[in-house]
Amino acid sequence: MAKPETEKTEKKLFKKPNVQVLQRRLSRPFGAPSTKVKLTEDGWDARWFNAAIAADHIWRAKEQGWQGVVPAELADPDQIGGYQVSPDGYVVRGDKGQELLMKLPSDWRKQIQIKKTEENLRNMRPGVMKREVAEAAGRTLGDQAGQFMNDNVRVVGDVTDKMERIQRSGELE
């Protein structure tokens, strides 16, 4: 006896997902980072800038070297889903077209990220914050103020790294 058509349809709707999908999800349980937007020309990093965040958000991005992306530069337009073209010819998305896809040379972005890391690591060393505060006080208020800050101010919260060994007991297992 043939199965009713509705039963066949239900089986199609509730098909088990591919095991590879599960393995990929288990390797990144918090989800994958955003997919890199592929452009026709290599050597560019693209990302979305949202003008709704701040009125000058797009302007600031342009001042930092980011450039708008035109539809012809998209390697796979389907990758980014629905998009529109702004009056000046750039790829935008959002209800009001407030998100603009922009690009920056990959080597520039890498150099900028390296500089950010260097700066962050430099500022995390013990005593750096106290020295910078004392120097700023000395520049703006005079040498005596800078010396006072250096001698009397105690900085709370310098960053230190250390390893802690945790002994496991069988109680909670």
pLDDT reported for residue 22: 81
> Which of 90, 47, 45 is closest to 68 using CA atoms?
90
Between CA 54 and CA 76 the distance in angstroms is 29
Instruction: Express each pLDDT in 56-65 by its tens digit.
Output: 999 999 999 9
Residues 6+ apart with CB under 8 A from 23: none
Residues 6+ apart with CB under 8 A from 101: 37, 46, 47, 48, 49, 68, 69, 80, 83, 90, 91, 92, 93
Instruction: Express each pLDDT in 22-39 by its tens digit.
Output: 887 788 778 777 788 999
Domain locations in the chain as residue ranges: 18-105, 109-152
pLDDT reported for residue 173: 47
pLDDT reported for residue 25: 79
Between CA 130 and CA 144 the distance in angstroms is 16
Dihedral angle sign, alpha carbons of residues 145, 146, 152, 155: positive
Backbone angles phi, psi at 100, to 5 degrees: -110, 130
Query: Residues 8-30, buried b or exposed e (16+ Cβ, 10 A)?
Result: eeeeeeeeeeeeeeeeeeeeeee
Residue 89 to residues 41, 50, 53, Cα–Cα distance (Å): 18, 17, 22
Residue 11 pLDDT > 90: no
- Take residue 127 and report the two structure tokens written for it: 């005593």
The more confidently predicted of residues 11 and 131 is 131
